[in-house]
Amino acid sequence: MDYVRGALLALAVFWALQLVGSLYQMRRYREAVQDAARRCHSGFLGVGSCKVRLGRGAVAIVVLSADMRVCQFLSMSGFTVFTRFQPHPGFEELSMEAFVERLHRAKLRGSIVQAAIDALERAHRAADAPPGQAPRATEAPA
């Protein structure tokens, strides 16, 4: 009986740790999106993701200015809740086409490249949406 009680206690502790870690990660995500939106407030923000079965997935934030140039590119990739968004300053002020070309030439993980392209497409859709109407939400590619 002590074995079952100990196993249930361990399960409860790990579940609580997962909950706290998830809340911590969601706070960091929200702060990164808000900071990106404040930095280029007259532009369009896109968030993309790349999910993988095994290995590191990625989340990317791309902010486009009103003239469709990249204002900011951030990415987060890793296994733990302690991963932070990393800025990529070499991609700023690029056109959308130049951004995609530089992404493919850069030595970034493939999941980051896919997430960044997804984020760029979402930001572009936001720019193309009629004024006052949010772009239609679509599911991120698996």
According to the 3-state scheme, what is the secondary structure of 18-50?
Answer: HHHHHHHHHHHHHHHHHHHHHHCCCCEEEEEEE
Residue with the larger pLDDT of the pair 51 and 15: 15
In terms of Cα–Cα distance, which of 72, 78, 74 is closest to 58?
Answer: 78
pLDDT at 118: 92
Please answer whether residues 122 and 139 qualify as being in contact, where contact means their C-beta atoms are separated by less than 8 angstroms: no
What's the pLDDT at 22? 84
pLDDT at 71: 87
Give the mean pLDDT of 8-19.
92
- According to the model, what pLDDT value does residue 9 have? 92
pLDDT in tens, 52-65: 887 778 889 998 88
Q: Is the pLDDT of residue 17 over 50?
A: yes
Mean pLDDT of all residues belonging to the chain? 83
